Structure 1
């Protein structure tokens, strides 16, 4: 059976409690939401410093109506052997103000969940633990402004994850960036759907909650 979703109800309820991998108890706090423009409605989640060329990130097959949508980051606070610690646990792009009836893995073209084994998933790779939401039309601009993105992410961490940085490129392309709680690796993205099947949200899960082992299968 492929990977199952984390408890996103807990992760996106301010001041809720959860259990991290390794058994530590943590408290959730939510960042200030930041609106992201999706001019084509094609959602991409990727490392903002990713190489392009043959490894260019591709949009997911689930699309939304073009518009502006809020991105919220869930941060967990815990005691790390006597030292207070905070890490990002997940990030949500909210599309509709409606309950999620079911979750499904966000898939790229030609990806099929029936090909996945136990706890496997199709995901994206990050070399440095940095992640972003971006419209499919803005992916090519990522490589042109890496220095600005590095500065913004450092400021975000220094500000205790209060508000993920929104970067606006020279041609109006927008990126909301943040970092993962577990650093480099492969991570899944989930699509939450309403009872009617409409997209309610996209969630980038950084796999910090206690659950069975997971196996990534590379980028989409």
Structure 2
């Protein structure tokens, strides 16, 4: 039986509320931090695709090589310490809208505010920060965010064992750009180019890439029995709202 959760990893009330609310269409999420007159609302949850994780080892990180690596070698992705059952899992995106006007033109401000890997459909009862295999829990304090940053504004769910093969199209694209040969990436585009998918048939594994802005927090949603129900990624920029509604 799983012991009680470590309080250093537990989400606070506002974070727990947001992780549920952003995937509940119709929910008002407050107002944008940079514009208190602009309301933000959860509007839709869409199924993006399925991703195969046959090793049960999950990387949640940017698929791009490091900017400061002239050789563009395979970077070590942030593998989660928590293993998941080997299998194929549904990927869902939460969309929000924050209407605004710019130079006389109106926009709906639609964007992907969060994305999740659905391990089971069981209800989530607790949320906790997702530690990486190299993270030291002794360094984690209540309120700290754990996750990844991406200068390329992209994150991904990927099988860790097949990471080099699954990220190869991104490295090849970068190499081509540096050589002045900007060809389309050898990836499958999904949902009007909001997402990309790569596959490695030798291992039977996939990677699904998604748009982020800067830093992203990674959360584990656990069931009442302590099993992992979902792995959620929240765009820190999108969740920077003034306050949840009372």
With the shorter chain as reference, the TM-score category is 0.7 to 0.9
Which shows bigger deviation, 27-36 or 88-97?
27-36
C-alpha distance in structure 2 between counterparts of 1:175 and 1:196, whole Å: 29
CA contact (8 A) 2:118 2:230 kept: yes
Question: Where does residue 43 of structure 1 map in the other structure?
Answer: 58
Please state whether the residue corresponding to 2:226 is helix, strand or coil: coil
1:13 equivalent to 2:45? Answer: no
TM-score (norm 2): 0.72
Superposed, 1:1-220 pairs within 5 Å as 4=12, 5=15, 7-22=18-33, 23=36, 24-25=38-39, 26-51=41-66, 55-81=75-101, 82-117=106-141, 119-146=143-170, 147=173, 150=185, 156=190, 159=192, 161=194, 164-169=195-200, 171=202, 172-180=204-212, 183=213, 185-207=214-236, 208-210=238-240
The number of residues matched between the two structures is 206
Q: Which runs of 5+ in 1 are unaligned?
A: 213-220
**TM-align CA RMSD:** 3.0
How far is the alpha carbon of 1:41 from its aligned partner? 0.9
Counterpart secondary structure, 2:162: helix
Which has the higher mean CA deviation after the structures are superposed, 140-149 or 54-63? 140-149
Measured after TM superposition, the shift of residue 86 of structure 1 is 1.4
Give the Å deviation of 1:167: 2.3
Q: Deviations over 1:158-194 (max 9, x none)?
A: x275xx44322353431111102xx2x2221000111
CA contact (8 A) 2:166 2:206 kept: no
Bigger Rg over Cα = 2
User: How far 1:19 sits from its partner (Å)?
Assistant: 2.3
Q: 1:31 to 1:149 in 2, by over 3 A?
A: farther
Q: Point out the more displaced range, 167-176 or 96-105.
A: 167-176
Moved more, 43-52 or 67-76: 43-52
**Cα 1:54–1:122, aligned 2, differ >3 Å: closer, same or farther?**
farther
